[in-house]
Amino acid sequence: MPDTLRILMLEDTRSDAELEEYELRKAGINFALLRVDTREAFVRALLEFRPDIILSDYNLPDFSGIAALEMVQRDHPEVPVVMVTGALSDIEAVELIHAGAKDYVLKDRLARLAPAVQRALASERSARARKAAEKSLRESEAKFRSLVESTSDWIWEVDEHGIYTYSSPQVLDLLGYTDEEVLGKTPFDLIAPVETEHLRERFTSIVAERKHFRLLENANIHKNGRVVFLETSGTPKFDAQGVFKGYRGIDRDITERKEAEKERRASAEKLEQILMQTIEAIAATVEARDPYTAGHEQRVALLASAIAREMGLSEEVIHGISLAASIHDLGKIRVPAEILSKPGRLSPIEYELVKCHPQTGYDIVKDIQFPRPIAQMVLQHHERLDGSGYPQGLMDAQILLEAKILGVADVVEAMSSHRPYRPGLGMAAALDEIARHRGTYYDTGVVDSCTALLRERRFEF
């Protein structure tokens, strides 16, 4: 109750009013009392005194308790009324309660007055709280409905069996179905058949764990037959006892994004194809000037890729190594043809010209936007761990792993093949070379992987 309860008493007998006031004081109720005995005074008191509760006699000279009750119910329904009367038949008591009185007390039993007042106030507080909660719920539902209906995303709910129990109207724009048509269906009734089994397994796993899920991509079939890609997120629902009741979630149309991704992939594949054709043309140009090394770059590419795969490197890295190996001798295009095909030993000046080919190759391809550091691999493929290589004299940590792999593959292929100045030395000699300089010229891991491949005959040119 309020700190000071405002009680409006409609009573024309002063002694009865005093007895009622006494019973309320005796019960420890803190209140301010205003007694009136006419209709006009009662109407004015309702507006000015603003009572928390009304105690009304049943019969007054020019006014009645029923009339007062009807007035309060019409204009101030939030104010509880307790009738206090001298005598009352059962029929009259029922009529009072039906008319809206919270209780009635006979004047010869005023000991019931204080409890009746407290019950009436408690009942009214409960009713007000319930109405406030209902109003808040209605407002919340209205806000939710406004939000749901204004967003372009599709909001939905499914029960524990995966059946739609709610669908926002946006499903019509997304999939061509009305929200009423969706109710009773499951997500798998809308998903493209090719994805149904895969997504059913994933969804079953998610539901079994009662967990949230986000950004689950799925292809759906529009009512007109076209494919619509949606991105689905959901959260589990539970009742007051913690029993799982399904999912509430949201779907967003990502069809345009998926189409853009498809176009980007197609463009990337086309660029990759052009790049490969360019590399093949460059390699063919180099080999045309040096017939003795025809096929050298392709064989080095095969061996270097096999070594990288043996070492557990990613397919992206392996692909980069293969590209670099395919053009690693590109710089020889600036070396005079007579030097490349010279049958005897090269002079110091001629050898210095040949040693320029990694730098020349780098200068030719450095500005091409390769997916991996191809130009650096070309530049470093003759570098050695101890700094004795060329053209920069780099040491271990300064050399790319890809270039270390390319260097070993280059040495093995060159030694095992014929050259203008000597016959092929064979695979045994090549393996002996990399074993002898393992850890000084050549990377230990690369040598071990290459040796394992060739000795176990898991690779052959």
Angle between helices 401-416 and 427-436 (to 10 degrees): 140
For residue 315, pLDDT over 80 is answered with yes
Q: Give percent of the chain above pLDDT 90.
A: 47
> Residue 293's pLDDT is what?
61
For residue 159, CA distances in Å to 144, 244, 347, 448 come to 20, 9, 85, 59
Confidence of residue 94 (pLDDT cuts 50, 70, 90): confident
> Residue 421's pLDDT is what?
59
The arrangement of strands across the sheet holding 31-36 comes to 31-36, 5-10, 53-56, 81-85, 103-106
Distance between CA atoms of residues 32 and 229, nearest Å: 70
SS3 of residue 47 by DSSP: helix
Q: Give percent of the chain above pLDDT 70.
A: 92
Distance between CA atoms of residues 23 and 113, nearest Å: 7
Distance between CA atoms of residues 106 and 88, nearest Å: 8
Confidence of residue 135 (pLDDT cuts 50, 70, 90): confident
What secondary structure does DSSP assign to 282-293, as a single string?
HHHHHHHH-GGG
Is residue 176 left, alpha or beta, with left meaning phi > 0 and alpha meaning psi from -120 to 50? left
> Residue 290's pLDDT is what?
66
> Residue 163's pLDDT is what?
92
H helix or E strand, kind and range, residue 78: none
For residue 337, pLDDT over 80 is answered with no
> Residue 80's pLDDT is what?
92
> Residue 159's pLDDT is what?
92
For residue 339, pLDDT over 90 is answered with no
The DSSP secondary-structure symbol of 191 reads B
Mean pLDDT score, 298-311: 93
pLDDT in tens, 266-279: 887 787 777 777 76
Q: Ranked by mean pLDDT, which of 85-94, 125-134, 207-216, 221-230 comes out on top?
A: 221-230
Residue 215 structure tokens: 């950004």
Closest among 352, 304, 353 to 327, alpha carbons compared: 304
For residue 120, pLDDT over 80 is answered with yes
Closest among 199, 414, 183, 441 to 300, alpha carbons compared: 414
> Residue 424's pLDDT is what?
64
Name the β-bridge partners of 395: 386
Cα angle 418, 422, 423 (rounded to 5 degrees) comes to: 45
Residue 313 structure tokens: 């490197």
For residue 375, CA distances in Å to 221, 277, 459 come to 47, 17, 27
> Residue 321's pLDDT is what?
94
Distance between CA atoms of residues 31 and 23, nearest Å: 12
For residue 437, pLDDT over 80 is answered with yes
For residue 369, CA distances in Å to 104, 217, 366, 377 come to 93, 32, 8, 14
Alpha helices in 49-192 (DSSP H): 65-75, 90-99, 113-150, 171-175, 179-182
Distance between CA atoms of residues 438 and 407, nearest Å: 12
Distance between CA atoms of residues 201 and 366, nearest Å: 48
Name the β-bridge partners of 238: 244
| CA 105 to chain centroid | 64
Confidence of residue 194 (pLDDT cuts 50, 70, 90): confident
Mean pLDDT score, 216-244: 91
Least confident of 315-324, 340-349, 375-384, 402-411: 340-349
Domains of the chain (ranges, CATH numbers): 5-137 (3.40.50.2300), 153-253 (3.30.450.20), 260-455 (1.10.3210.10)
Name the β-bridge partners of 164: 158
Residue 40 · residue 32 · CB < 8 Å = no
Closest among 389, 409, 411 to 450, alpha carbons compared: 409
* E strands in 182-335: 213-221, 227-238, 244-253
For residue 19, pLDDT over 90 is answered with yes
Task: Name the phi and psi angles at 210, rounded to 5.
Answer: 55, 45
Residue 308 · residue 405 · CB < 8 Å = yes
| CA 397 to chain centroid | 40
> Residue 145's pLDDT is what?
63
Confidence of residue 199 (pLDDT cuts 50, 70, 90): confident
For residue 275, CA distances in Å to 195, 263, 271, 331, 359 come to 34, 18, 6, 18, 21
Task: Name the phi and psi angles at 228, rounded to 5.
Answer: -125, 125
In the predicted model, what is the mean pLDDT of the chain?
Answer: 86
Mean pLDDT score, 228-248: 91
Confidence of residue 25 (pLDDT cuts 50, 70, 90): very high
Distance between CA atoms of residues 263 and 357, nearest Å: 39
pLDDT in tens, 372-415: 899 999 999 999 999 999 999 999 999 999 999 999 999 998 88
For residue 353, pLDDT over 90 is answered with no
Task: Name the phi and psi angles at 136, rounded to 5.
Answer: -60, -40
